[in-house]
Amino acid sequence: MWRADETDLLPGAPIGSSVLATEPVLSDQWWQAFNASLDALAEQHTSRVATPDTVMITQSGVAEAIHRFLRNGVDTTVEQWLPAHADLNWANMTGPEFCLFDWEDWGVAPQGLDAASLWGSSLAVPALAERVRHERRRDLESRDGKLMTLFVCAKILAPDAHPEDPRLEPARVMAEEVAEDLQSD
């Protein structure tokens, strides 16, 4: 009988922990493979529902999470549900060769969940967070992507958040910006 750890057969080491504190060195080819993989995933079809943080994602869960940012009756209805990894962070990708692994949470989720999740795990490194926003701008600039940005910000800014988490202030600023944008539509 053979046994392999999930990471033994990967083409490289995981880039880091789920939240990075330093910027990784990633080539343009890495970013191209990253984008191609997320785009190909979104084109697939499944009835499986994503389970970020091991909880099935639902419309009511999304609305509840972002309600504190959108109080003035702004519609929080997600329009497009697409296949997503649903646990996209730096611990689940390899470098220098791109590989995405740890798929137990994948399934349909609101457009932009993966991009917003990776952006949120990059906030301690502003240049990296901006690169993620640039690379996945099509997802993040969509209405659903804005809702997912607020969804991720709500997780970061949870009442039990560690007060020294370096992501708190950037998440607070982005949540205010996105909420204002959605409320003005």
> Is the confidence at residue 28, as pLDDT, over 60?
yes
Q: Using DSSP, how many helices (H) and how many strands (E) does the chain show?
A: 7, 5
The residue whose two tokens read 């800014």 is: 157
> Is the confidence at residue 3, as pLDDT, over 70?
no
Contact 38, 115 (CB under 8 A): yes
User: What are the pLDDT digits (tens) for 122-169?
Assistant: 999 999 999 999 999 999 999 999 999 999 999 999 999 999 999 999
pLDDT band at 13 (very low <50, low <70, confident <90, very high): very high
Predicted pLDDT at 68: 83
Q: Please, what is the Cα angle at 79 between 129 and 91, to 5 degrees?
A: 30
What is the pTM (predicted TM-score) of this model? Answer: 0.94
User: What are the pLDDT digits (tens) for 82-102?
Assistant: 999 999 999 999 999 999 999
Among 135, 90, 82, smallest CA distance to 112 is for 82
Q: How many other β-carbons are positioned within 10 Å of the β-carbon of residue 39?
A: 12
- Between strands 99-100 and 81-84, the pairing is unpaired
> Which of 30-39, 60-69, 93-102, 120-129 is predicted with the least confidence, judged by mean pLDDT?
60-69
pLDDT band at 184 (very low <50, low <70, confident <90, very high): confident
Give the fold, CATH level 3, of 13-184. Aminoglycoside 3'-phosphotransferase; Chain: A, domain 2 (3.90.1200)
Q: Is residue 96 reached through a cis peptide bond, with omega within 30 degrees of 0 on the bond before it?
A: yes
Mean of pLDDT over the chain: 94
**Percent of all residues in the chain with a pLDDT value above 90, rounded to a whole number:** 88
User: Where do the structural domains in the chain lie, given as residue ranges?
Assistant: 13-184
> Is the confidence at residue 2, as pLDDT, over 70?
no
Buried b (16+ CB within 10 A) or exposed e, 60-89: eebbebbeebbeeebebebeebbbbbbbbb
Return the amino acid letter for 180: E
pLDDT band at 71 (very low <50, low <70, confident <90, very high): confident
> Is the confidence at residue 6, as pLDDT, over 80?
no
